[in-house]
Amino acid sequence: MLEYQIFLDYWPMILLGFWLTLKIVLCAIALGIPLGLFLALGRRSNYLAVSFLATSFIELFRNTPFIIQVFLFYYVLPFYGLRLSAEYVGILALAAFGGAYFAEIIRAGIDAIPKGQLESARAIGMTDWQSMKNIILPQTVKIVIPPLTNQTLTLIKESAILSTITVHELTMTGLMVQGETFRPFEVFIMVALLYWALNETIATIMRRIEKSYNRNRKQSNKDKYTIDITKSSGLFR
């Protein structure tokens, strides 16, 4: 039978771990998405050195287990004089791991845009950066939101691995409570419910953002079409 008293006695402690998980994940995403954009553009760069470095970073972090990356960050950085708390190491490791996947998602989104649009922008005198910022990237957003959402949810689940370097996030807190109570079933029911609630909340927010973005773009295209029709009508008067 379930020991309901455990839910009441240890819920505040579990929530503290959940709060730390939330902070780590949000910081990792805030760092990882700009890093992913930078890497995606770097991989598509015409400069061989830039493209090589960006590609190497992406392939290294995509093709090695996250737990190994965490250990490398945690145990290797101090040898080079960079001593950080376990929480900051966790944020950096999660951001680097997520950034590599975000980069491939963004790159695929950019490549999905017809090349003729970039060539047309160049033809009217735009630089590559102006073309990317004003024409390509706005269209890429619609394409990359769903896979970026999936990768974000993966990052939340992968954050549980940070318990291996003593980060007192949600999973580590659950393990500590389980060690005190010897009741893993009740403890990990709480942990699982909190992970589910966080992932479902983020997924819902991202779905609403996607719908809002699509609605705004449709309205913008409709307005542009109306203006074009009005101008065309004026030509035939």
Distance CA 37, CA 35 (A): 5
Average pLDDT, the chain: 89
Look-up of token digits 């689940």: 157
pLDDT of residue 125: 85
- Domain-wise residue ranges, the chain: 13-235
Task: Indicate the CATH number for domain 13-235.
Answer: 1.10.3720.10
Element (H, E) at 186: helix 184-235
- Report percent pLDDT > 90 for the chain: 69
**What confidence tier does 20 reach under pLDDT thresholds 50, 70, 90?**
very high
Over its C-alpha atoms, the chain yields an Rg (Å, rounded) of 23
pLDDT of residue 229: 44
Instruction: Look at 63-72, 90-99, 138-147 and tell me which has the smallest mean pLDDT.
Output: 138-147
Distance CA 170, CA 181 (A): 16
Tell me the H-state helices in 44-183.
48-62, 66-76, 86-112, 115-123, 128-131, 137-158, 170-181
pLDDT of residue 222: 60
pLDDT of residue 142: 87
Between 133 and 93, residue with greater pLDDT: 93
